[in-house]
Structure 1
Amino acid sequence: MTQSTRFTLIGRDGKPYDSDVPGTLGGHRRNRIYGRLDCRSALRAIARGEYVKHRVFFHDEATAVAAGYRPCAVCLPEKYTAWKAAPASHSNKTRIKEPHA
């Protein structure tokens, strides 16, 4: 009997669930960011030993957005720019406040 691999993904409600298929996007739970699995910024942080503790995975982009995560500025720059330009389209909890000049 073969044992199937199980993956833990984050759902639209922001809660983890078991899945038979791996996620297509990764994210950072504390920063509420999602991005591509090959994101150079995330991979660098993982290589330094950071990030892994707070790493989450999503089935798709719609799920990440519904869970309150924002696009990564490094691997999804166009989506990040659109997200940043549309403050009414997301909640304050996912918006990172810019420092005052």
Structure 2
Amino acid sequence: MSYTLIGADGRPYESATAGRLGGYRRSKLYGRLDCPSALRAIAKGGYVGERVFFADEATAVAAGYRPCAVCLPAEYAAWKAEHR
């Protein structure tokens, strides 16, 4: 099976391994695959068309995405402190 992930350059690539983190292209944010906020949006029929996946946090950050405030609160707080 092949998975499409987003690389550090922000471009999609094929991977034999599934992504560990999901993201939302419009807001450029990433979080856990079990994020309650993302799961609610998906259940309402939204989000899916703009969903992206990352191998790890470093790749998501390098691609210009920020951490989710809901499922990654500590990472989000650190990001926010850096971007004031």
TM-score w.r.t. the length of structure 1 is 0.82
Distance (whole Å) between structure 2 residues aligned to residue 85 and residue 60 of structure 1: 21
Rg (Cα) greater in structure = 1
Amino acid at match of 1:74: V
More strand by share: 2
Question: Which residue of structure 2 lines up, in the alignment, with residue 40 of structure 1?
Answer: 36
Q: Do residues 29 (structure 1) and 31 (structure 2) align? A: no
Amino acid at match of 1:61: E
**Could you say what the CA RMSD is over the residues aligned between the two structures, in angstroms?**
0.8
Distance (whole Å) between structure 1 residues aligned to residue 82 and residue 17 of structure 2: 32
Q: What residue ranges of structure 2 are gaps of 5+ in the alignment?
A: none
Question: Which residue of structure 2 lines up, in the alignment, with residue 99 of structure 1?
Answer: none
TM-score w.r.t. the length of structure 2 is 0.98
Q: Do residues 86 (structure 1) and 79 (structure 2) align? A: no
Deviation at 1:87, TM superposition (A): 1.6
Amino acid at match of 2:7: G
Aligned to 2:53, which of 53, 57, 77? 57
Superposed structure 1 runs of 4+ greater than 3 Å apart: none
Matched residue SS, 2:42: helix
- Which structure would you say has the larger RCO, counting Cα contacts within 8 Å and 6 or more residues apart? 2
Residue correspondences, number: 84
Deviation at 1:24, TM superposition (A): 0.2
